[in-house]
Amino acid sequence: MSTNPPPTTTAKMCSMTVGCPFYPAARLDGQCYFIGNSPLSWSNAKAFCESHCSHLAVFQDLNQLRLTMEVLHLSDAISNLPAVHNHILPDMYVDAVNPTRSNHFLWSTTNQTVSPTLFGGSTPHHPCAFVHHSRHSIHSAWQLEGTVCSQMYYPLCQRRLE
Tell me how far CA of residue 79 lies from CA of 14, 21, 96, in angstroms. 28, 18, 25
Q: Is residue 13 part of a domain?
A: no
Where is pLDDT greater, at 34 or 87? 34
Q: Which residues are 159's β-sheet partners?
A: 32
Using pLDDT thresholds of 50, 70 and 90, give the confidence band for residue 8.
Answer: very low
Q: Specify the pTM.
A: 0.84
In a domain, 125, yes or no: yes
Let me know if residue 155 belongs to a domain.
yes
Whether 84 is in a domain gets the answer: yes
Cβ atoms within 10 Å of 1's Cβ, excluding its own = 8
Give Cα 29 to chain centroid, integer Å. Answer: 16
pLDDT at 2 over 50: no
Q: What are phi and psi of 96, to 5 degrees?
A: -80, 135
* pLDDT score recorded for residue 9: 44
Q: Residue 147 in contact with residue 125, Cβ under 8 Å? A: no
Q: What is the pLDDT of residues 10-55, one digit of tens each?
A: 445 666 556 787 778 888 999 999 999 899 999 999 999 999 999 9
Q: Which are the contacts of 56, defined by CB distance < 8 A and separation ≥ 6?
A: 45, 46, 49, 93, 94, 95, 108, 109, 155, 156, 157, 158
- The pLDDT assigned to 109 comes to 93
Strand partners, 32: 27, 159
Task: Considering only residues 128 and 76, tell me which one the structure prediction assigns the higher pLDDT.
Answer: 128
- Measuring CA to CA, which residue among 108, 119, 125, 107 is closest to residue 145? 119
CA 98 to chain centre: 14
Residue at 134 is within a domain: yes
Evaluate whether residue 9 is within a structural domain. no
CATH classification at residue 152: 3.10.100.10
Q: How many domains does the chain have?
A: 1
- Measure the CA dihedral 91/22/63/137, to 10°: -20
pLDDT tens per residue across span 110-148: 999 999 889 876 667 889 999 998 766 555 588 999 999
Host domain of residue 154? 26-160
Name which residue leads in pLDDT, 77 or 70. 70
